[in-house]
Amino acid sequence: MEKVTDYFGCMVFDDRVMKAMLSEKIYKSLKRTIDKGQPLDSSVADAVADAMKDWAIEKGATHYTHWFQPMTGVTAEKHDSFISPAPDGRVIMEFSGKELMKGEPDASSFPSGGLRATFEARGYTAWDPTSYAFIKDGTLYIPTAFCSYGGEALDKKVPLLRSMEALNKQAMRILKLLGCEASCVRSSVGPEQEYFLIPKELYDQREDLILTGRTLFGALPPKGQEMEDHYFGSIKPRVAEYMADLDRELWKLGILAKTKHNEVAPSQHELAPIYTTTNVAADHNQLTMEIMKKVALKHGLVCLLHEKPFKGVNGSGKHNNWSISTDKGENLLSPGKEPHENIRFLIFLMAVIKAVDEYQDLLRLSVATAGNDHRLGANEAPPAVVSIFLGDELNGVLESLEKDAPYEGTKDLIMKLGASVLPELRKDTTDRNRTSPFAFTGNKFEFRMLGSSNSISCANIHLNAAVAESLREFADILEKADDLDRTVHELIRDTIRKHKRIIFNGNGYDESWIAEAEKRGLSNLRTTADCMPKLCDKKNADMLIRHGIFTESEIISRRDIMLDNYVKTVNIEALTMLDMARTQILPAVSSFAAEKAEAVVTKKQAVPSAKCGYETKIVEKLSELEDSIDEAVSALAAAEAKLGTFDDIIAQSGFVKDVLIPAMDDLRRYSDEAESVISKESWPFPTYEKLLFGV
Ligand code: ADP
Ligand code: MG
């Protein structure tokens, strides 16, 4: 049997391969670029490109591609072969440093939010040497950043790298003050990915799944997730085979797939990798999503990554486990055993608390999509209100710090910074709350609002940037302090006092929490239309610009792209519903009603005294529903037609939220009611029962 250790990373141009294939001088120079971001000179690039090409050809590759992440949310690639004609009619295989470092794809067909005039169709892709190149399906993939002719970011990688740099810069200022010896700081992420698997033959029979990735109609089956028998349940053989195959494919690409299990809903599952540097985690998560779908098809399955494939059934999210650590391997969110580690931990903890409070709206909107709107606040995922869970112990510590009072949880411990040790935080006390959007889990924060199909980049861009901003403000104060110990102490105390409203250790699903949150002045931005415009609020724009994450025009363009995406997504759903209602549902309801009406006539002819109670009632009911569906179709069609009349994207997205989506809900309600009374064979597409329990 093949051993995992033998094939893990076999398709990756990783450190092992670099060391083996490059001269020592070239290797060292490349390492300086990877580790310290030093520019790469062209002779080094040529040598690296040559080695990459030889390695890739050896592995059967014929093409290379600059792989990038435009604002569409999926990755993009254009394949070029290595061939180059030789004078005698043969070809030789070539790949230069220039081709490795820079590509010039036509950018005009990617969303730019007005950043790129059509006459400047050219865009650039630039090699990101911090994320390894890899081979997939006979092509060498080179992870790249994508920007416009004028240098504006057109992707999700450029701002992510900028945010990591901003965090590094500000965190280093603090570490320097504390006398730490690290030379750089990086954020790391482990994203837990949820998904559904359904049989391909059923998927193929549903226009909504094919066109929108979710069911737009469907009555709830008699059994859902109420028995709580699926979460961590034993994995069915067909799913287990899929998971094994998926692991293998991911491992070949050096992706650290670690954990797999069944999730809450029937046919829902989760995969979690071991955490790694944020930009690599983002690349790996994109690849993981793509490979999940591809491998499913090989097993006659379809992998649904939509946030809410089934109404009334648990949706799918992505938990973004985030921490910051130094190049010396110290986790800055880990409460230490020594007093100086406590101070460091508390400063970074305060930076996160302040960041999450001040930039709640940025965090909320970083995960906003039409799909994720169905989850957040729907009594299964975290609410749309952002809050932080710290756990009782840490909360107790903060309360005593706030009051300058002794901490009672640990005997004899006077919470005086620099002179005492924090109580050891047991993981089980910090990990219990599953309802919190942003939970401290021992030595990391788990941001749980991300949707399953989201790129993790947006969330981490805003999180890194907001924390960098807290650290900047802290460093400005501390660098001027005469008495550092005292100033740190006051800073921590004042930060708790000012930002404790964001801390909530209770049940986030509780109705009363939403009211309480409102009292505390926390924002509750329910939909994409509500939150996305906030990206351009002065407070947010100033901060993002200050740290060099975005320029002003990039910010506006991103808001517009995201809103446009929201409008288009819902519009496609509305059109799909109209089509299904007109060509499948109404005809089915009508024929079933007609069939029953004929039955009444036939039965009465045969047996004049027959009551025909069932048939009569069902004909009555279905005739009514048919009319309601028909009216709902007209109303939805009218709303959909009006959508095209808006010039302003903000007004248009408001219309989607206030008019279009409610019209879709109406249509669905009547249709689902009809589904629940007509015979299963007469329903025109597979029901929830089949989809959810079909594997
Ligand atoms: P859960 O209890 O939520 O299932 P786990 O403890 O299994 O979580 O971890 C979930 C994810 O968190 C994994 O991807 C793991 O690699 C990641 N993780 C663990 N420690 C850290 C850390 N220090 N920084 C970032 N991610 C981490
Ligand atoms: Mg988790």
Instruction: Render 41-69 in DSSP notation, one character per residue.
Output: PHHHHHHHHHHHHHHHHHTT--EEEEEB-
Q: What is the pLDDT of residue 38?
A: 78
Single out the residue of 277, 361, 345 nearest to residue 543, CA to CA: 361
Residues lining ligand 1, Cβ inside 6 A = 188-190, 192, 259, 272-275, 321-323, 331, 443-444
Q: What is the pLDDT of residue 412?
A: 38
Whose C-alpha lies nearest to ligand 1, atom 13?
Answer: 190
Atom of ligand 1 nearest to the CA of 274: 16
pTM, two decimal places: 0.94
Instruction: Render 81-135 in DSSP notation, one character per residue.
Output: E-EEE-TTS-EEE---HHHHHEE--B-TTS--TTSS-GGG-BEEEEE-TTS--EE
Q: What is the pLDDT of residue 601?
A: 96
Is 226 exposed, middle or buried, given 0-12, 13-18 or 19+ CB atoms closer than 10 A?
exposed
Report how far ligand 2's centroid is from the alpha carbon of 441 (Å): 9
Q: Which of 250, 261, 275 to mutate to test the pocket of ligand 1 (most atoms within 8 A of CB)?
A: 275
Q: What is the pLDDT of residue 415?
A: 42
Tokens coding 285: 């998560």
Atom of ligand 1 nearest to the CA of 275: 16
Report how far ligand 2's centroid is from the alpha carbon of 662 (Å): 33
Q: What is the pLDDT of residue 418?
A: 44
Considering every ligand atom shown, identify the ligand nearest to the alpha carbon of residue 231 and give its number: 1
Whose C-alpha lies nearest to ligand 1, atom 14?
Answer: 190
Q: What is the pLDDT of residue 411?
A: 40
Domains of the chain by start residue, with CATH: 4-155 (3.10.20.70), 156-191+324-548 (no CATH), 193-317 (3.30.590.10), 566-693 (1.20.120.1560)
Ranges of residues in the chain whose predicted pLDDT is under 70:
116-121, 227, 338-340, 379, 406-432
Report how far ligand 2's centroid is from the alpha carbon of 310 (Å): 22
Considering every ligand atom shown, identify the ligand nearest to the alpha carbon of residue 190 and give its number: 1
In whole angstroms, give the CA distance from residue 259 to residue 618. Answer: 49
Contact 455, 305 (CB under 8 A): no
Report how far ligand 1's centroid is from the alpha carbon of 191 (Å): 8
Return the ∠ at Cα 98 (arms to 24 and 456), rounded to 5°: 85
- State whether residue 423 is helix, strand or coil: coil
Q: What is the pLDDT of residue 457?
A: 97
Tokens coding 603: 């039965």
**283 Cα distance to chain centroid:** 12
Contact 210, 203 (CB under 8 A): yes
